[in-house]
């Protein structure tokens, strides 16, 4: 009964997601059960897989990806999947270690997490790029072109009879990503070297790609001490920062203090929503606003 309920839930969730976020695709409800870690991945896998896949997301909206712990129910549902697409975050190391050996039919695709996941604080530091690679690769459109190839190849191996279909969808998606990159590159060309402040250091890949500098308010996953906060405010005031960025998955009290001291707005960015291109445009808008202090 649990398995029947799983397929029933997946069918309606996948159909709804397809109607809301990818209207050009039709999901039949009989596709291959595939899991991903975060919503942006779901967008990409659905865009490439179309009606051949049913995609479920491990980390629900509003939850912290860095510190998410899979429940026994998650593990049970995952054991019924055909494939799991990784993006390189700590929780995936836990899933891989629990399921890879015993669930031989479950394919793990995409980059594995590089670091340690044996502790709360340590894992938090790892994902922020301290002592390990920053895994927020989805915030760089050019890196996501390579990830689209990973999706296409993985699905093609699982369903070789649909390989041409996956390739066509992937090529269309890569053209969209190239267009997004070109527009962002042109938009931030005149802001090269500009500094922005955010409560959690999630935007390193975006900043590196477009010549910006990220400065995080928190340090190693914790709110800054009073002395550090005073220094951050002094720096930001000198730079003429026009807004402070935040993510809702992390504490915003320090960002609110900083924004209040600078008398600038606090702007929330959504980098974990399923509507990838809309999220990226919203991020660009917030960053550009933070570079102006009228």
Give the C-alpha separation, 123 to 73, whole Å. 23
Which band of pLDDT confidence, cut at 50, 70 and 90, is reported for residue 223? confident
Domain termination residue (choose one: 119, 149, 184): 184
Strand partners, 57: 36
Number of domains the chain is built from:
2
Q: Are 69 and 94 in contact (CB under 8 A)?
A: yes
What's the first-to-final CA gap in the chain, in angstroms? 60
Q: Please give the average per-residue pLDDT across 128-132, as a whole number.
A: 44
**pLDDT attached to residue 113:** 79
Which pLDDT value is given to residue 67?
77
Looking at the fold, whether 178 and 228 belong to one and the same domain comes out as no
Mean pLDDT of the chain: 84
Is the same domain home to 268 and 126?
no
Find, among 33, 128, 37, 135, the residue nearest to 82 by Cα: 33
Domain span at residue 44 reads: 2-184
> Sheet holding 195-198: strands in order across?
213-216, 195-198, 244-246, 266-268
Q: Which of 109, 116, 149 is nearest to 133 (CA)?
A: 116
Is 175 in the same domain as 268? no
Greater confidence (25 vs 273) lies with: 273
**Distance in angstroms (rounded) separating the CA atoms of residues 258 and 162:** 52
pLDDT at position 197 is: 97
Q: Between these two residues, 67 and 143, which has the higher pLDDT value?
A: 143
pLDDT score of 133:
67
Contact of 69 with 91, CB cutoff 8 Å: yes
In this predicted structure, what is the pLDDT of residue 115? Answer: 62
The pLDDT value recorded for residue 243 is: 97
* Pair (84, 38) in one structural domain: yes
Banded model confidence at residue 168, pLDDT cuts 50, 70, 90: very high
> For the chain, how many helices (H) and strands (E)?
11, 8
Shared-domain flag, residues 175 and 208: no
Domain stop point among 184, 216, 243: 184
Instruction: Summarize pLDDT for 230-272 with one digit per residue, the tens.
Output: 999 999 999 999 999 999 888 778 999 999 999 999 999 999 9
Same domain membership, residue 129 and residue 17? yes
> DSSP string covering 221-249, please?
TBPPPHHHHHHHHHHHHHHT---EEE-TT
**Predicted confidence band of residue 104 (pLDDT cuts 50, 70, 90):** confident
pLDDT the model gives residue 249? 81
CA 176 → CA 5, 47, 75, 213, distances in Å?
36, 11, 34, 26
* Residue with the larger pLDDT of the pair 29 and 34: 34
- Asked whether residue 39 carries a pLDDT value surpassing 80, the answer given is yes
Percent of the chain exceeding pLDDT 90 equals: 65
Q: For residue 68, what is the domain's CATH number?
A: 3.40.50.1980
pLDDT, one tens digit per residue, over 145-167 is: 999 999 999 999 999 999 999 99
Beta-bridge mates of residue 245: 198, 267
d(CA 181, CA 185): 6
Supply φ then ψ for residue 18, to 5 degrees: -65, -40
Residues 60-102 pLDDT 10s: 877 778 778 888 999 999 999 999 999 998 889 989 888 988 8
Rounded to an integer, what distance in angstroms lies between the CA atom of residue 33 and that of residue 30?
9
User: Count of CB atoms within 10 A of residue 242's CB?
Assistant: 18
> 138 and 48, same structural domain?
yes
223 with 180, same domain: the answer is no
The answer on 139 and 34 residing in a single domain is yes
Asked if 77 and 136 sit in the same domain, the reply is yes
Lowest mean pLDDT among 78-82, 177-181, 283-287: 78-82
């Amino acid at each position: 009964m649990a398995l029947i309920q799983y397929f029933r839930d997946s069918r309606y969730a996948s159909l709804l997601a397809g109607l809301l976020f990818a209207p050009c695709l039709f999901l039949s409800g009989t596709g291959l059960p595939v899991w991903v870690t975060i919503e942006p991945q779901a967008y990409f896998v659905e865009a490439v897989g179309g009606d051949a896949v049913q995609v479920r997301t491990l980390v629900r909206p509003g939850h912290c990806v860095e510190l998410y712990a899979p429940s026994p129910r998650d593990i049970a549902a995952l054991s019924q999947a055909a494939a799991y697409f990784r993006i390189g975050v700590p929780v995936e190391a836990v899933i891989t270690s629990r399921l890879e050996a015993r669930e031989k039919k479950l394919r793990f695709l995409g980059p594995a997490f590089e670091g340690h996941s044996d502790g709360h604080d340590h894992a938090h530091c790892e994902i922020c790029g301290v002592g390990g690679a920053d895994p927020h690769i989805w915030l760089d459109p050019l890196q996501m072109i390579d990830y689209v190839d990973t999706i296409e190849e993985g699905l093609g191996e699982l369903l070789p009879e649909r390989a041409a279909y996956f390739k066509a969808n992937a090529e269309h998606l890569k053209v969209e990503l190239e267009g997004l990159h070109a527009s962002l590159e042109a938009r931030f060309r005149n802001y090269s070297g500009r500094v922005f402040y955010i409560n959690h250091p999630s935007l390193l890949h975006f900043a590196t790609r477009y010549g910006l500098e990220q400065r995080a308010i928190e340090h190693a996953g914790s709110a800054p001490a009073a002395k550090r906060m005073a220094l951050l405010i002094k720096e930001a005031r000198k730079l003429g920062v026009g807004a402070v960025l935040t993510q809702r998955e992390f504490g915003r009290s320090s960002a609110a203090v900083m924004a209040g001291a600078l008398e600038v707005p606090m702007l929330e960015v959504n980098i974990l929503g399923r509507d990838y291109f809309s999220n990226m445009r919203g991020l660009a808008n917030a960053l550009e606003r933070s570079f102006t202090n009228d």
